């Protein structure tokens, strides 16, 4: 699989079905802690969500959506990659883009998603708060993380 044709583009409703597919495959591959009923409920919410309500950018390999990032108020609200593309540096590219273009400096991560926590820590994010519940009131604790003070995209070690 060649990633030479990857590019980041602004979300358009033309990408909606592909974004939903990437979301589902990614969650099934990475969010093993989710209860099956909660997954169904979250999936229903995501399928009804208007991605135009956030600043969403898609990563394309040729014309196929392989990942996306959604931002609101300088915070990453969602970052998902197709499982075939996880671990290839593309999540870092999406974060680099979000940090340099949209001044992102915060993210919330499910505490049970240890791989994501490690990923964000490597990118220079530190936990500043923990919640017992997620934003929907479910028993999935969140770690609220922000970029270390003084760090910039150029100072972060990968």
Q: pLDDT for 70-100, tens place per residue?
A: 999 999 999 999 999 999 999 999 999 999 9
Residue 151 has pLDDT above 70, yes or no: no
Q: Is residue 157 part of a domain?
A: no
- The pLDDT value given to residue 118: 95
Total domains present in the chain: 1
152: confidence class by pLDDT, cuts 50, 70, 90: low
47-68 mean pLDDT: 96
Residue 155 domain-assigned (yes or no): no
* d(C-alpha 146, C-alpha 46), whole Å: 25
Residue 25 lies in a domain: yes
Q: H or E segment at 56?
A: strand 55-61
By percentage, how much of the chain surpasses pLDDT 90?
87
Tell me what the pLDDT averaged over the chain comes to.
91
Question: Within a domain: residue 158?
Answer: no
| 154 assigned to some structural domain | no
Q: 134 is in which domain, residue-wise?
A: 6-147
Residues in the chain: 158
Question: Does residue 115 form part of some domain?
Answer: yes
Res. 115: pLDDT tops 80: yes
| Cα atoms found within 13 Å of the Cα of residue 72, Cβ hemisphere only | 7
Provide the CATH number for the domain around residue 68: 3.40.630.30
Rg, Å, the chain Cα set: 15
pLDDT reported for residue 136: 87
Asked whether residue 152 is assigned to any structural domain, the reply reads no
Residue 1 lies in a domain: no
Q: In which band, very low, low, confident or very high, does the pLDDT at 149 lie, cut at 50, 70 and 90?
A: confident
**Helices H, strands E: what count in the chain?**
4, 7
- Is residue 1 predicted with pLDDT exceeding 70? no
Mean pLDDT of 144-155: 71
Stated pTM of the model: 0.89
Lowest average pLDDT, out of 32-41, 111-120, 147-156, goes to 147-156
Share of the chain above pLDDT 70, in %: 91
Determine contact, residues 64/17, Cβ cutoff 8 Å.
no
């Amino acid at each position: 699989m060649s990633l030479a044709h990857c590019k980041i583009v602004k979300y358009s409703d033309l990408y909606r079905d592909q974004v939903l597919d990437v979301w589902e495959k990614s969650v099934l591959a990475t969010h093993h802690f989710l209860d099956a009923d909660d997954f169904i409920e979250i999936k229903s919410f995501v399928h009804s969500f208007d991605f135009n309500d956030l600043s969403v950018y898609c990563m394309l390999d040729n014309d196929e959506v392989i990942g996306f990032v959604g931002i609101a108020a300088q915070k990453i609200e969602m970052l998902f990659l197709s499982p075939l593309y996880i671990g290839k540096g593309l999540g870092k590219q999406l974060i680099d883009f979000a940090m340099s273009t949209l001044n992102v400096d915060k993210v919330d991560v499910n505490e049970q998603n240890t791989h994501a926590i490690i990923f964000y820590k490597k990118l220079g994010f530190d936990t500043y708060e923990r919640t017992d519940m997620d934003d929907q009131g479910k028993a999935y604790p969140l770690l609220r993380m922000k970029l270390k003070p003084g760090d910039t995209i150029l100072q972060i070690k990968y």
